[in-house]
A and B are shown apart, each in its own frame.
Chain A
Amino acid sequence: MTTFESVFAAFASGDGELYKILGLTVCMTLLSTGFSVLTGFPAGAVLASLSFPGKKLLRRIIQTCMGLPPVVAGLFVFLLLSRRGPMGSLQLLFSLPAMVIAQFILIFPIVTSLTLAAIESRQKAINQTISTLGLPRYKKYLLLLWECRGSLLTVVLTGFGRSLSEVGAVMMVGGNIQGKTRVMTTAIMLETSKGNFGAAIALGLVLLILAFLVNVIANHFQEAQND
């Protein structure tokens, strides 16, 4: 893979390395976005519904973490997972789980904060009716999430986009090891550093096409829901 054309030729010929990079990228992105959604949706819904001392401060902290520099998240996970770190015995550094953990730290605050905002904007209208129904608490949260599903899809796509485009943290904790932790963004960095700008641009295009396809599929489901 040294030129623009060679990247697409490699795709067309079923180049194993390229498909492995693509597969790992998709796998890492889905896992980190999935974990963030599974925890961020309930966290945002609960935060939106509850009033407690320190809620404003907690909200500011989560919002601040939305802008957490990837290298800081990467450094944190690196120290956590390095051989002398508190979780060093797990030997996860320079592996897919390490990359997913780093990305989770970046995406969870985004998903939580945006979910909180999405639910808060609609919960006043919904809550008056929900509170009259005598539903168990978990059902109230499920209904709230269901009614905000349009906004929440945007939250998922935002998290997915952040995960797909992230490079600093996955480079630090993944190490860009060929066949093991190399993903699209770290491959682009590698090609750029080698001066293979055509290949880097082509990989970038593939990444964009991937993001476009995910958005098309997500919007298709959203439109089907609205019909």
Chain B
Amino acid sequence: MTDMQSQTAYLQDFEKPVTLTGLKQIWRDRIVLDVPALTLLPGRRYALLGANGSGKSTLMKMLSERLTANYGQIGYLPQKPYNFALNVSHNISLGIPQGLGLSADEKNASIQKQLDALNLTELSACRGNRLSGGEAQKMALARLLVIPRKILLLDEPTSSLDLNSLAQAEAALTDYLSQNNSLLVLATHQLSVARRLCDEMIFLDQGQILALGPISGLMDPSRNSRLSLFLRYEHGMNSIE
């Protein structure tokens, strides 16, 4: 199998809708997540919305575990990714699995592409643990985007970015998703980012999915009352209506 074929195989395992059932977590006698079933379609981009404590990160973690078990390695960016005390290029290279069979030149080219896309080239020799919050967040994102992946689960990937970095990250993600037709689940507080990057939304409230559908439905006057409350308090969206 050639390198390109192995990469393609890496991408094509996930071509049918996947339904995950029994996504439930109880902590200290409190149900923090209770999702009886969730169907994800390949190539779709889901925004996972919800207030603090609604269970977004718990769902993301559970999705990563279940999807990894079913489909092998996926791209999961936790809310607080660890930045290793290695230089930025080395940190990004950790995202390239050994089994992919890339040559050293191909690896370096992939890393350089991400360094350029996320404006990290000047920092490539810096230690990952010395970066600012925004720089570290871009590095962690680059670590995922360095190879084509069939599934991306991103938990607040842009929360620490300034405007320029946000634009770079969004452009890099948009390019990546259109090139690879990957499934994206993006947990975020930034509604504007969700609306630019995603086409579907999952609204999570107190551990339960209360709304699931096209993100354009956010503006639907008949939307769920808890979603209306969330948008009013979190995003002051009365005026937009």
Contact = CB atoms under 8 A, between A and B. Distances in A.
Interface of A: 125-126, 128-130, 132-136, 143, 146-147, 149
Interface stretch (B16-24, B92-100, B188-196, B203-211): B92-100
B98 A136 contact: yes
Interface of B: 64, 72-73, 75-78, 80-82, 84-86, 94-95, 97-99, 140, 143
A129 to B, nearest CB: 4
Contact of B80 (A125, A130, A132, A146): A125
A148 B76 CA distance: 24
B97 A129 contact: no
A147 B85 contact: yes
A134 B82 contact: no
A147 B78 CA distance: 18
Contact of B82 (A125, A135, A149): A125
A143 B76 contact: no
A125 B81 CA distance: 8
Contact of A135 (B64, B78, B94): B94
Nearest to B97: A134
A147 B76 contact: no
A134 B94 CA distance: 9
Contact of A129 (B82, B85, B86): B82
Contact of B81 (A129, A134, A143): A129
Contact of A132 (B76, B86, B99): B76
B82 A128 contact: yes
Given A132-B75, A134-B97, A146-B85, 16 more contacts: A125-B80, A125-B82, A129-B78, A129-B140, A130-B82, A133-B95, A133-B97, A133-B143, A134-B72, A134-B73, A135-B97, A135-B98, A136-B98, A147-B82, A147-B85, A149-B85
A130 B84 CA distance: 10
B47 to A, nearest CB: 21
A125 B80 CA distance: 8
A128 B78 contact: yes
A118 to B, nearest CB: 15
Contacts of A128: 78, 80-82
29 contacts: A125-B80, A125-B82, A128-B78, A128-B81, A128-B82, A129-B78, A129-B82, A129-B140, A132-B75, A132-B76, A132-B78, A133-B94, A133-B95, A133-B97, A133-B143, A134-B72, A134-B73, A134-B97, A134-B99, A135-B94, A135-B97, A135-B98, A136-B98, A143-B94, A146-B84, A146-B85, A146-B86, A147-B84, A149-B85
B108 to A, nearest CB: 18
B80 to A, nearest CB: 7
Contacts of A134: 72-73, 97, 99
Contacts of B86: 146
A59 B76 CA distance: 33
A134 B73 CA distance: 6
Contacts of A125: 80, 82
Contacts of B76: 132
B1 to A, nearest CB: 18
Contacts of A143: 84, 94
A133 B90 CA distance: 13
A213 B84 CA distance: 30
Nearest to A134: B73
Contacts of B85: 146-147, 149
A57 B78 CA distance: 33
Contacts of B72: 134
Contacts of A132: 64, 75-78
B202 to A, nearest CB: 21
A130 B77 CA distance: 11
Q: State the 3 A-B residue pairs at the shortest beta-carbon distance, nearest first.
A: A129-B82, A134-B73, A132-B76
A130 B94 CA distance: 9
A128 B143 CA distance: 14
A132 B82 CA distance: 11
B198 to A, nearest CB: 21
A135 B143 CA distance: 13
A147 B127 CA distance: 12
Nearest to B73: A134
